[in-house]
């Protein structure tokens, strides 16, 4: 098989490089722990050369924080609403030290809030190709450090919002009075569900009216110190769903798709049960799919290949 | 004048020692930066000796985290509802190495939530003596690292709730993507008010649906990097008021008193304007007042002195 394209999913913490064959088949994946946050000044070229070493001289398409202000080259955000064709038309090309042309996918900006994303737009492109119904009219949840809630209408991302659930969890569990100096965490499904139910029951006041309970329940002896982490996780993920409902990001008449890490998605599915919410998990690996689709749309690959 | 009592307000970060003369007049105050979080193991006795050095051998009354599990000696929480007389009846005495008797004020526990406080119960006792109307029926706000919202009925604390506004502000401004690697903050009143209004307008979704705007507005160029801190402060303090309203902790027909650090209180007063809320600031230094009142009630001081 002939290599057609190299795709890069280059975020804050990781660089994932895909070698695509005919019809967008992923023939090889390399994962490097050289996200843009870890790189030394001028480290982009070197990390890039390492990621693509010995691969053929084909076009490169890259998405994620690599196109941010602190990235290799800044690509301006594209305002919503946006479809894949607009992303493809706005790629920013430049020449890497090895002579390859690297095309950067722009991030998106929702001018209404405002809010921004980089990388998720490509993931969403990959999801929508697989779920025509959601592509027509639906909601996507991409949980993570900065969870994204994305609204889709007629194949276009029309708006989105960020909730910093993962980052907040990290801060509270590592640095706050709630989580610091606790024994190592153990998995505690009941504690997680208790947290999610507490967030749900907080109503319009929301989880910040209840988050101190992670400490008081422990002092009270009804929450084991090693279970505080799962309780806190349930509180924050449960509150993210409460927020999404209160903010009108979820419409029960539309499909709600979720894409992300398996372990994290299973937490969201559990929290969704507390609300009687229907979440459908889409297969991960949608970023590779999205990169290929954008490359096809941009004419970077000569293809009988339709994705 | 004769020294009647030594009072200690001994919290996580500071130890404040009061020497009381006749009628509870504070004749001397010493502030030491040896809060219980900073002390080495076994450091309590030494810090105590330093705080009271050369002062007469009179009874000592201490409140705050000194009576917590990580304190000098643990005093069980007293469940609400509680009046000053119940606090006084539940003091825990022990003998310090210098022969003085130290009486520890118990913290309070609201069994309904559950929630806990240590030190604020003494501050509240001091406030209520000065505001008979609020003592009958009112709300007290003690803003800080862990803000307390306290409900008072007929002189008793009947319930309370904690919002970790100050701690959350510290975490987000120092350790999160929102606040890390920003230039030194400048005072920006407009940014603070913009944050408070954004929190108010977030409605039932609450500030976690909007907090990422501290970054996106900066990327957008409509919020100066040096003003992010004040915007974030406005978001979080504004949201604390939103939470208090949504949770029913504020009743517009009752007085709402606030006691605390002057600079912090002025931030809450500004945020309250965004809601058209009436906050009345009570004089600080109420902990010393509360300590004296509890000592009188407990008979630790022989006194014609009524406070």
Tens of pLDDT, residues B133-154: 778 889 999 999 999 999 999 9
- Dihedral angle over CA of A286, A287, A290, A292, nearest 10: -110
Note the pLDDT of residue A304.
Answer: 56
**Domain spanning B163-281: CATH 3.40.50.300:** no
Alpha-carbon span A2 to A304, nearest angstrom = 13
Name the DSSP class of A81. S
Name the DSSP class of B40. P
Query: CA separation (Å) from B197 to A263, A296, B188, B200, B231?
Result: 37, 45, 14, 5, 10
What percent of chain B has pLDDT above 90? 87
Tokens of B93: 């005495």
Q: Could you check whether the bond before residue A81 is cis, i.e. omega within 30 degrees of 0?
A: yes
Q: Do B163 and A243 touch (CB under 8 A)?
A: no
Architecture of the CATH domain A5-131+285-298: 2-Layer Sandwich (3.30)
pLDDT tops 60 at residue B305? no
Note the pLDDT of residue B131.
Answer: 86
Residue found by looking up tokens 């502030």 in the block: B31
Q: Do A213 and B177 touch (CB under 8 A)?
A: no
> How many residues in chain A?
307
Q: Do A240 and B208 touch (CB under 8 A)?
A: yes
Q: Are A119 and A35 in contact (CB under 8 A)?
A: no
For residue B114, the chain A residues in CB contact (below 8 A) are 213, 216-217, 220
Residue found by looking up tokens 């076009």 in the block: A59
Q: Do A176 and B161 touch (CB under 8 A)?
A: no
Going by C-alpha positions, the residue among B55, B151, B126 that lies closest to residue B287 is B126
In DSSP terms, which residues pair with A146 in a beta bridge? Answer: none
Residue found by looking up tokens 């701690």 in the block: B167
For the residues of A153-187, what is the DSSP string, one character each?
ETTEEEEEEEE-HHHHHHHHHHHSTTTTTPPPP--
Alpha-carbon span A182 to A225, nearest angstrom = 6
- The ranges assigned to domains in chain B are 5-131+285-298, 163-281
pLDDT tops 60 at residue B159? yes
Closest chain A residue to B201, measured at CA: A247
Section B158-171 average pLDDT: 97
pLDDT tops 90 at residue B304? no
Q: Are A157 and A124 in contact (CB under 8 A)?
A: yes
| Ramachandran bin of A273, using left for φ above 0, alpha for ψ from -120 to 50, beta for the remaining angles | alpha
Note the pLDDT of residue A131.
Answer: 86
For residue B212, the chain A residues in CB contact (below 8 A) are 115, 146, 161-164
pLDDT tops 80 at residue B91? yes
pLDDT tops 60 at residue B53? yes
Q: Are A154 and A148 in contact (CB under 8 A)?
A: no
For residue A216, the chain B residues in CB contact (below 8 A) are 109, 113-116, 162
Which residue in B212, B217, B219 is closest to A146 by CB distance?
B212
In DSSP terms, which residues pair with A139 in a beta bridge? Answer: A151, A256
Q: Note whether A5-131+285-298 and A163-281 share their fold.
A: yes
Q: Do B212 and A162 touch (CB under 8 A)?
A: yes
Q: Do A243 and B209 touch (CB under 8 A)?
A: yes
Residues belonging to chain B with any Cβ–Cβ distance to chain A shorter than 8 Å = 69, 109, 113-116, 146, 161-165, 167-168, 171-172, 175-178, 203-209, 211-213, 215-217, 219-220, 239-240, 243, 246-247
Note the pLDDT of residue B303.
Answer: 64
Q: Are A123 and A290 in contact (CB under 8 A)?
A: yes
Q: Does an H or E element contain B44, and which?
A: helix B44-52
Residue B116 neighbours by CB under 8 Å, 6+ apart? A215, A216, A219, B77, B107, B108, B109, B110, B162
Note the pLDDT of residue A52.
Answer: 97
Going by C-alpha positions, the residue among B62, B49, B56 that lies closest to residue B4 is B56
Query: CA separation (Å) from A118 to A58, A71, A203?
Result: 23, 11, 32
What percent of chain B has pLDDT above 70? 98
Q: Do B69 and A243 touch (CB under 8 A)?
A: no
**What is the average pLDDT value for chain B, to the nearest integer?**
94
For the residues of B156-168, what is the DSSP string, one character each?
EEEEEEEE-HHHH
Note the pLDDT of residue A195.
Answer: 98
Tokens of B209: 């649906």
Q: Is the ipTM of this complex over 0.90?
A: yes
Which residue in A116, A219, A240 is closest to B216 by CB distance?
A116
Instruction: Mutation target for A interface from B164, B168, B173, B202: give the one with most A CBs within 10 A.
Output: B164
Q: Could you check whether the bond before residue A146 is cis, i.e. omega within 30 degrees of 0?
A: no
Instruction: Mutation target for A interface from B200, B206, B221, B250: give the one with most A CBs within 10 A.
Output: B206
Task: Note down pLDDT in tens along chain A; length 307 residues.
Answer: 699 999 999 999 899 999 999 999 999 999 999 999 888 888 999 999 999 999 999 999 999 999 998 899 999 999 999 999 999 999 999 999 999 999 999 999 999 999 999 999 999 999 998 888 778 889 999 999 999 999 999 999 999 999 999 999 999 999 999 998 899 999 999 999 999 999 999 999 999 999 999 999 999 999 999 999 999 999 999 999 999 999 999 988 888 999 999 999 999 999 999 999 999 998 877 999 999 999 999 999 976 544 4
Instruction: Indicate the SS3 state at residue A18.
Output: strand
Section B19-47 average pLDDT: 93
Which residue in A146, A206, A247 is closest to B243 by CB distance?
A206
Q: Do B116 and A216 touch (CB under 8 A)?
A: yes
pLDDT, tens digit (0-9, with 9 covering 90-100), for B208-234:
999 999 999 999 999 999 999 999 999
Closest chain B residue to A198, measured at CA: B113
Q: Do B216 and A115 touch (CB under 8 A)?
A: yes
Q: Do A212 and B164 touch (CB under 8 A)?
A: yes
């Amino acid at each position: 098989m002939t290599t057609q394209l190299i795709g890069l999913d280059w975020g804050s913490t990781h660089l994932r490089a895909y070698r695509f064959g005919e019809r967008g088949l992923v023939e090889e994946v390399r994962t490097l722990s050289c996200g843009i946050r870890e790189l030394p000044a001028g480290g982009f070229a070197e990390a890039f050369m390492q990621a693509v070493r010995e691969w053929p001289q084909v076009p490169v398409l890259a998405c994620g924080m690599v196109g941010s202000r602190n990235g290799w080259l800044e690509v301006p955000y594209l305002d919503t609403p946006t479809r894949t064709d607009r992303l493809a038309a706005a790629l920013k090309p430049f020449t890497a030290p090895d002579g390859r042309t690297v095309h950067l996918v722009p991030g998106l900006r929702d001018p209404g809030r405002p809010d921004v994303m980089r990388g998720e737009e490509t993931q969403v492109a990959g999801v929508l190709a697989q779920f025509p119904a959601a592509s027509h009219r639906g909601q996507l949840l991409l949980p993570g450090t900065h969870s994204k809630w994305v609204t889709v209408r007629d194949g276009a991302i029309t708006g989105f919002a960020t909730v910093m659930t993962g980052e907040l969890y990290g801060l509270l569990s590592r640095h706050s009075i709630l989580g610091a100096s606790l024994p190592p965490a153990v998995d505690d499904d009941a504690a997680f569900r208790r947290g999610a139910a507490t967030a749900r029951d907080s109503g319009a006041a929301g989880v910040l009216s209840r988050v101190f309970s992670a400490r008081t329940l422990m002092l009270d002896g009804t929450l084991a110190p090693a279970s505080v982490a799962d309780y806190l996780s349930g509180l924050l993920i449960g509150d993210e769903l409460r927020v999404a409902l209160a903010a009108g990001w979820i419409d029960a008449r539309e499909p709600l798709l979720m894409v992300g890490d398996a372990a994290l998605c299973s937490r969201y599915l559990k929290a969704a049960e507390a609300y009687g919410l229907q979440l459908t998990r889409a297969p991960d690996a949608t970023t590779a799919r999205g990169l290929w689709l954008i490359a096809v749309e941009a004419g970077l690959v000569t293809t009988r290949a339709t994705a």
